[in-house]
Every structure is written in structure tokens, then in C-alpha cells.
Structure 1
Amino acid sequence: MANSGYDVVVDVDDEGDLGHTDLADLEFHPSIGYNADQASGKMPTSASNTGGFFGSSSSNNRSGDGSSKRFLWTMDFYAQFFDVDTNEVLKRCWAALFPRERFLDVLDGNPDLYGPFWITTTVVLILFLSSTIAQYFARMKDGPYVYDFGLLSGAAGLMYGYTAFVPIALWGVLRWYGSESANLLECLSLYGYSNLIWVPVAIASASNITILNYVFVGVGFGVSALFLFRNLLPVVNATDAKTAKILLVLIIAIHAALALTIKILFFAHGSPVAKKPEGDAAAMMF
């Protein structure tokens, strides 16, 4: 009966005689903890790991098996960072665009890299397509337009580099200054989802109207910077007051540099990363 999740209690008399035990006297008590774990397909709570690989967060505790048994060269090690479904990713995307609560609360101790990877990849492709369309209309009167895939590599280097190295550097600085709440996976997830605003911004910035491009990029910077500031403020404040102020200024300044780079490289009448016809460099407009 143990396979059905029941504990068997048998009444035994003082002499220890089981010979006259009636089956009617057997009492079956459901094992609640076992049934809950068995129905959900999870290991019992006592067998789960409680340690975090990237910090104090419990983000790696949902996989059931001990993370100490996962190695960098195994797929199981990386699978734990993609432990989300489509509905959860959509919920997080919505929370990134229209934040009603802190995004770290939305993550609920389970930050992921699935959403950040595909969001950043989408931004790279949209930047390439939108900037190509903008330059096509800007130069269509000058002759046949030659597609430049240097824009694609430029977008990939910019977005992947920013989304990966900036949060890693921030996490390292926070840990250096004693912030116990700093978590690498949460930093990567936070920066990855903050890129979502650049998808509509890149689409809207395909126009050759310079002032509109500045407005769209400015809106993208404002929304994403506020998102990062709001969620990183409690973590940064775990350091001393002077360090916290410096870090917040650097976070906003680096993010502003990203927005300005996007505007100059991809939404100008002649991108510096694109091949320009001879004599066109002097006519480049920002």
C-alpha cells in the first residue's frame, strides 16, 4: 500500500499477539507530503537542494536535483537557466513594459535566460531590418542600394555585448563591495528583459525623420532606464551610500550610451557601421 501513498497503523495488544488481528482494525492514513510531491512529479522537499550557484537567490532550487552534481560540460547545468514556459515568459515581458511591481518579485526566485536571449536576438534582427529600410529610402534616388550585413554584425556585437558584460561587471562590483543580495542570474535576466522596449522603438525608428528618431530612442531610453533603476536600487543600496550613488550614475550613464549608440549607428542617414558610397560621408546626417 505504500505505493498508493498510505501509512498502515496496526493495533497490537500487550502480548504482542498479531494472530487475532482483524483487517477491519487496520487504519490507513494518507501521507500528504508524499502525495503532493508524487502528483506534481517533484522530488520530496527534503531531497531538494537549497543552495544557489549565482548568489543568495533560490533561483536554482526548482530543478529538484542537487546543483552540486551538475557540471559545466553537461546539458543539465544549462537547462536549469531555461526553466520557464511560454506563459511565464509572456508574463515577464508584460511586466517589463508595464511595471506594476518590482520585476524581481515577478521573477519569484526563478530568473531565466530564455526570455533575455530571444528578446535580445529579436532586437538585433529588428535593428538590422529597420536601419536597412531607413537607409534604403534615404538612398533610393542615388542608385541601387547594396545591402550591408555589417549592420547585422554591429547590432549583434552591441546588444549581446551590452546584455552580457554589463550585468556581469555590475554583479562583480556589487559582490566586491559586500552586497549579499546581488545575484548574477537575476542581473542577466533583468538586463535581458529591459531590452524589450527596443523592439517597438526600432520598428518606429525606420523613418528618416530625424527628430522622430530622437523622440523614439529617447522614449526607449527613459522606459528601460527607469525599469533598471527601480529594480537595481534595493540591490545597489546594500553597499555604502557613496558607492551606491556612483553605481547608479554609472548604470544610467552606460545605458544612455547604449541608446545614443543605437541612434547614431542605426537610425541616421548613413550609419557609420554601414558601407557608404564615395562622397557620402560628408553628407551624413544625425
Structure 2
Amino acid sequence: MMSTGVYTSIGDDNNGTNVSGTVPAVVSSADHVALKFKESNLQTFPPSSDSQGKIPVFRPPSDADDTFSKPVRGSYDEPQQSGWMHAFTVVAYKPYFDVDTADVLERIKDSLFPFRGTFADKTSDNPDLYGPFWICTTLVFVAAAIGTFVTYLAHKLQHKEWEYDINLVTWSAGLFYGYVTFVPLGLYIVLKYLSVPSGLVQLWCLFGYSLFVFIPAMCLFIVPVEIFRWVTVCAAGFMSATFVALNLRTHIVSSGERWFLIVAGIFLLQLTLAVVLKLYFFTITV
């Protein structure tokens, strides 16, 4: 649709040439309408006093840091529960498994040198349950396997019929897991009664690593010499008992004169464990 407007005719030009047609007349400058735009109320972000006439540049807030790009321990954990329900969550036990291979090997090496008595001091800030759990689990299967093999070998040497005893696995699991769980728990209750500062997890860690010496000892029980087996189990029991007693002594001395009775009782209890281990798993009757 053509818009209406003022048109003028084009007459003869200077050359005398007639040009037909019409063109829109030129509007004078006085007819222009000036358009004015209101100033925008949009606010630049972030606002600044000297941002007029400049392209605003985004800057992070002053309290921002780079922790978003860095993993923070515990940032991805489940929300922790308060009260006694916290003990039934996985988060409650994560700090006790926060060790690497070097830490576990170092603690195992310390358990093989019982006369140093520095294990409790080294693990006081970071006791773990990872090493004790796998030491006990290894003992369960090693005791059952070596005990079964020794019995099988004794029967075959005398050409007797042999039957496998599945109860060895059950009894070994009850012996080692029960000992490492309930003996430190009982000792913790006694020390609390005597107002001696001690930690339950630290006691579990100490008793768990004290049993490592029985793993190589039981591997030597394959030798079919009874006196050699008794010497081996007594040496392992003495090393384990000494390791526990010397590390406990530095913490129990503050309880007064009764500290000697407690240390002596734990020492004898470790020796009893070694004797029970020999009598039940490695006493061969054909």
C-alpha cells in the first residue's frame, strides 16, 4: 500500500527535456520530529560509581574462594545425624579407615618390635580399624587352612582316613573377632572406672595389630615337629603380650599401684590366646 504524501511535478530541466512522473517533495529540516529516549532504569552488575560510559565487567563476590574446584574432605558426605543415631551411620567410621598402605605397613613393622613401646604414641592421633580388621580376617582363614592341612598331612603320613572339619572356620572367626572386640572393650571399662584416660578405638587398634605376629607363626606350624610348634607359638605369644603390655604401661602408670596388675593381666591373657590357638587348631590326633 502506498503511503500518501506531498508530491511535486518535475518540469522542463535546463536542457529542455521533459521528464514525466512525480517524486516526493523534500521535507525541510524544520519538519523533523526529534525523538527522545528515556534513560534506562537497568542497573549494571556489579554497581560501581565510575561505571558510566564503561562496559561492566563481572567480578565474583568478595567472599568467593576456590574451594568449589577443590575436593574438601567431608564435603560429599551424607548429612551427619546427631545423638546416638550417629553411631549407626557410615560417616561415623570413615575417620578410622583413613590410612594408606604405608601407614599400615609401618604399624605392622612396629608390632614386630615389641620392646620399643612407641606404637601407642604414634597412633594416638590417628588410630585405625582397617589394619586390625584385615589382620583378624587373615588369621581366621590362615588358622583354618593351616590347621586343616596339618591334620591332613598327619593322617596321610600314617595312611589313615581323613575328614575335613568345617567348624575350624567358625571357631577361628569367633576366637579372633571375639578377642579383639571384647577384650579391649572390657579393658576400656576398667580404665574408665579407674579414671585413666584411654580411647576405645585406640585399644582396638593396639590389640588388632598385636595379633599380626601369629600369621607367620602359624605358617611355621606346617613343620611336623611338635616341640618346634610349641616353641613357635610361645615365642609369638610372648612377642604379642610384650607389645601390648609395654604400650599400655605408659598410659596406665597414672592409675596408681594397680597399673601393674592390669598390665600383668593383659600379658597373661595374650599368652593364654597363644596356648588356646595351639591346643585347638594344631593338636593332631590320628
TM-score by length of 1: 0.70
Does 2:266 correspond to 1:235?
no
Q: Which amino acid aligns with 1:166?
A: V
In 2, Cα distance between the equivalents of 1:108 and 1:156?
A: 28
The answer as to whether partners of 1:175 and 1:182 remain within 8 angstroms in 2 is yes
Pairwise CA RMSD: 2.8
Q: Percent of aligned pairs with the same residue?
A: 31
Which residue does the alignment assign to 2:24? none
The answer as to whether partners of 2:252 and 2:259 remain within 8 angstroms in 1 is yes
Structure 2 gaps, min length 5: 1-47, 51-64
Q: Which runs of structure 2 are paired with 1:46-195 in the superposition (5 Å)?
A: 68=82, 71-98=86-113, 100=116, 102-140=118-156, 141-179=158-196, 181-195=197-211
Question: What is the Cα deviation at residue 131 of structure 1?
Answer: 1.0
In 2, Cα distance between the equivalents of 1:92 and 1:103?
A: 7
Question: What is the Cα deviation at residue 19 of structure 1?
Answer: 6.3
Paired residue total: 223
User: Which of structure 1's runs of 4+ aligned residues deviate more than 6 A?
Assistant: none
Question: What is the Cα deviation at residue 197 of structure 1?
Answer: 0.2
The answer as to whether partners of 1:82 and 1:112 remain within 8 angstroms in 2 is yes
Pick closer, same or farther for the CA change 1:255–1:106 going to 2, 3 Å: same
Which residue does the alignment assign to 2:261? 246
Which residue does the alignment assign to 1:265? 280
The answer as to whether partners of 2:220 and 2:232 remain within 8 angstroms in 1 is yes
The answer as to whether partners of 1:204 and 1:216 remain within 8 angstroms in 2 is yes
Structure 1 gaps, min length 5: 1-17, 21-33, 44-62, 271-279, 281-286
The answer as to whether partners of 1:208 and 1:268 remain within 8 angstroms in 2 is no
Q: Which amino acid aligns with 2:123?
A: L
TM-score by length of 2: 0.70
**Worse-superposed segment, 195-204 or 148-157:** 148-157
Question: What is the Cα deviation at residue 80 of structure 1?
Answer: 2.5
The answer as to whether partners of 1:208 and 1:269 remain within 8 angstroms in 2 is no
Q: Deviations over 1:79-100 (max 9, x none)?
A: 2321212222122112212355
In 2, Cα distance between the equivalents of 1:97 and 1:67?
A: 40
In 2, Cα distance between the equivalents of 1:96 and 1:68?
A: 36
Structure 1 or 2: more helix by fraction: 1
In 2, Cα distance between the equivalents of 1:230 and 1:86?
A: 25
Pick closer, same or farther for the CA change 1:88–1:149 going to 2, 3 Å: same
